[in-house]
Amino acid sequence: MTINAILLARADAKCELCGAQQPLTAYPVPHSASQDDDHSAALCDTCRGQLEQPQTTVVNHWRCLGDSMWSQVPAVQVLAWRQLKSLVGQGEVWAQDLLDMMYMEEETKAWAEAGSASEDDDSVPTVDSNGAVLAEGDSVTLIKDLEVKGGGFTAKRGTLVKGIRLTNNPLHIEGKVNGVQIVLVAAYLKKA
């Protein structure tokens, strides 16, 4: 059996991402160990085109991932995870909700993340007031007093914030001040 025949049988002649009953082709998942049927998915032209040319993404088309992310096929799970991650980067809250619910085996998650690492390299890094690149888990110091809205206190200049978390926005970080988790503007911080 050819790879196309194996994939068509596995997919029941439907796109493994959106379920469309259109002509399907084998799509080798990027950053895979090999290009066999275990590392490929049967996709319609619409899904394949948008995966290969992300600038043509039609967000509503990808709402189908709410179903396909539960596939038992690791290659389909990887594609769904990567596309949801891309949509989260575009500000789609519903995609983050789906990602939060998604479960993958450790090996499959590592495969999915291997493909997203190269995409993350193009992102703008989070930098402090001196231009130093901040990373997850770093400690920072406030360089000015900041009123914490809704917290009822002012975070004083010189306060050390340990174990920061990066956000999707490179201008902000998350950290705990006085036991309260808050979002801080990176321009008002310096790396400790």
Predicted confidence (pLDDT) per residue in 89-116, tens digit: 888 999 999 999 999 999 999 999 886 6
Q: Identify the weakest region by mean pLDDT among 31-35, 61-65, 157-161, 186-190.
A: 31-35
pTM, two decimal places: 0.60
Averaged pLDDT for residues 37-65: 92
Separation between Cα atoms, residue 185 and residue 37, nearest integer Å: 46
CA angle 44, 41, 57 (to 5 degrees): 50
Residues 6+ apart with CB under 8 A from 150: none
Q: Contact, 8 vs 41, CB < 8 A?
A: no
CA atoms within 13 A on the CB side of 113: 8
Which residue segments constitute the domains of the chain, with CATH numbers given?
3-120 (no CATH), 140-191 (2.30.30.40)
Q: How many CB atoms lie within 10 A of CB 108?
A: 16
Mind listing the pLDDT tens digit for each residue in 114-123?
866 444 445 6
| Residue 187 region by backbone torsions, left for phi larger than 0, else alpha for psi between -120 and 50, else beta | alpha
pLDDT confidence of 18, banded at 50, 70, 90? very high
**Hey, what amino acid is at 105?**
E
